Amino acid sequence: MVPPLPPTSSDPPTSPLPGASSEPPATSPSEPPESLMPDSGNSPEAPPIRRGLLLVVSGPSGVGKTTIVHQIIDRFDGVFSVSATTRDCSSHETDGVDYFFLDEAAFQRWIDEDRFLEFAQVFGRSSYGTPRDAVEDRLREGRLVVLDIDVQGAIQVRASTPDAFGVFILPPDEDELLRRLRARGREDEATIERRFAEARHEMATARTCGAYDAFVVNDELKRVVEETVGLIESRLAERANSGR
């Protein structure tokens, strides 16, 4: 698978018993200390590992979300979900590491078998999807699992996994986003203008779709990383307090 001015980062985005002798109880010389006694089998079981947190991060092209995602993963010892795609594998990519590379028939079979948490098929372009089992395995291990997906994917995840935490990364303003797209130097002006139009639509949809819990403005990398880390820590604390 980084409108009006964006919302501020504060937008939607927690003594002995009476009569007891002070003398220690007598023990037989042959009786081992209690700490060395064999386990009777009645000791309490270790508490189960709390389910991890699914973090959905979205933002328009050029907003810088990939750098933010990598820093979040480092801070929380998180894992990045490997997507499946129908596009060709390049010479520097590894199947199962960078992506799961599928042909169109296999991708459709995964859809039919409900193996995607979310997916997108665009006529004439490559398809992308998030494999469900890999995400669920990591969540059962108590890990932070990060999805870097678009708004349509985030809407699907919200519907199927309502306890996911969605964060949308915004540029300081539209002019800055256009400047960043041009500064990458990867595309011609027509492509940049198309991406900019798509970004404006994506930001407008993100504000109204209900898939995101918080919006943060990427005006300075260190600041936005710390803000996003704080939001994740607050969500984890809320879940711990609620026993989830």
Instruction: Check residue 45 and give its pLDDT.
Output: 56
**CA–CA separation, 160 vs 158, rounded Å?**
6
**CA–CA separation, 130 vs 148, rounded Å?**
10
pLDDT in tens, 70-128: 999 999 999 999 999 999 999 899 998 889 999 999 999 999 999 999 999 876 789 99
**CA–CA separation, 4 vs 203, rounded Å?**
9
Instruction: Check residue 22 and give its pLDDT.
Output: 46
Instruction: Check residue 219 and give its pLDDT.
Output: 95
**CA–CA separation, 105 vs 232, rounded Å?**
38
Instruction: Check residue 194 and give its pLDDT.
Output: 92
Q: Which residue has the tokens 């809320």?
A: 238
pTM, entire model: 0.76
Give the number of C-alpha atoms closer than 13 A to the C-alpha of residue 241, restricted to the C-beta side: 7
Q: Flag residues of the chain having pLDDT under 70.
A: 1-49, 123, 243-244
Instruction: Check residue 28 and give its pLDDT.
Output: 46
Instruction: Check residue 5 and give its pLDDT.
Output: 42
CATH superfamily name and code, 50-242:
P-loop containing nucleotide triphosphate hydrolases (3.40.50.300)
Instruction: Check residue 123 and give its pLDDT.
Output: 65
Integer Rg of the chain from CA:
25
